[in-house]
Structure 1
Amino acid sequence: MTPSEIEDKAEEIFDALGRSFRLRGSSLSARVRKAGRLLPRHLRRDLKYMCDAQELAANPRLAKLVDMKRIERTHRNALRWLADVDPGARARDLLWESAWRIGLVILVVGGGLITVLAWRGLI
């Protein structure tokens, strides 16, 4: 595998990260860093290896150190996992979670207020 093939695979993953998580960054490593815990640990680790392999592949002598099977596996697994991510569902989940938390706070504060008013004999 040539450095250009590794670069092409990294570019595909770079684009998929941008589509799935709406991330910005100038390189794959920047987008992986910004994705952080949104990615599974094994995928984050493999993508970090791919970023390091890109740098190694630029040097002809160091390119021999790159594990091509791992690059292929990372590429396949990353694209498969990122294809299942639905940005709309993530936004809806965030909205519902926020609404649930606000409702819980209103319920607790309202219950506390009613309790205080009852202790003071105002109700």
Structure 2
Amino acid sequence: MSGVSVQQMAGRVAELMEARLRVRGRGLAEKLRRGGRLLPRKVRRKAEFLARSAEQAGVPRLQMQLDHERIAEAYDACVRYLKPLGASARRRALLLEMVTGFATGLFVTAVLVVALLLWRGFL
């Protein structure tokens, strides 16, 4: 794995962050600084490691010190979290969200009706 491929991995993760999380910035490090809080802790740490590795890959003397297995693992974890959902999964999530909202509203209304009936002395 060369320094260019490490930088390409960081660039891909930065593109996915912009597409999925709508975080603006020049590189992965800047996007993590602006929107890193939107990522889970484990994914954020792996993305920060990937950003540091991409910076080190730009320096020829530091390329020998890179842990390529760990870089590949960090890249896989970031891409797995950030890859966009498919159309069917997006529809399913929207439907589940609508049903959950409807059920919650119905439950709250039922509890309020029972509380009102108890307060008025009908139950």
TM-score, shorter chain, exceeding 0.5: yes
Q: 5+ unaligned residues in a row in structure 1: which ranges? A: none
Task: Assess if the C-alpha contact under 8 Å between 1:3 and 1:57 holds in 2.
Answer: yes
Task: Assess if the C-alpha contact under 8 Å between 1:47 and 1:74 holds in 2.
Answer: yes
Q: How many Å separate the matches in 2 of 1:68 and 1:122?
A: 72
Q: For residue 110 of structure 1, what is the amino acid of its counterpart?
A: A
Task: Assess if the C-alpha contact under 8 Å between 2:46 and 2:77 holds in 1.
Answer: no
What is the RMSD computed on CA atoms of the aligned residues?
3.6
Task: Assess if the C-alpha contact under 8 Å between 2:28 and 2:51 holds in 1.
Answer: yes
For residues 50 and 112 of structure 1, do their structure 2 counterparts lie closer, same or farther at Cα, with a shift above 3 Å needed?
A: same
Task: Assess if the C-alpha contact under 8 Å between 1:23 and 1:35 holds in 2.
Answer: no
Q: Deviation digits for residues 64-120 of structure 1, max 9, x if unmatched?
A: 3321232234334544x2586516435752563354245324423333234423542
Q: How many Å separate the matches in 2 of 1:87 and 1:28?
A: 24
Task: Assess if the C-alpha contact under 8 Å between 1:11 and 1:28 holds in 2.
Answer: yes
Q: Deviation digits for residues 16-59 of structure 1, max 9, x if unmatched?
A: 3444x25322232425715412xx82x44322211111222233
Aligned length: 118
For residues 11 and 91 of structure 1, do their structure 2 counterparts lie closer, same or farther at Cα, with a shift above 3 Å needed?
A: farther
For residues 91 and 54 of structure 1, do their structure 2 counterparts lie closer, same or farther at Cα, with a shift above 3 Å needed?
A: farther
Q: TM (normalized to structure 2)?
A: 0.62
Q: How does 1:24-63 map to 2 (within 5 A)?
A: 24-26=23-25, 27-29=27-29, 30=31, 33-37=36-40, 41=42, 43-63=43-63
Q: How many Å separate the matches in 2 of 1:10 and 1:36?
A: 15
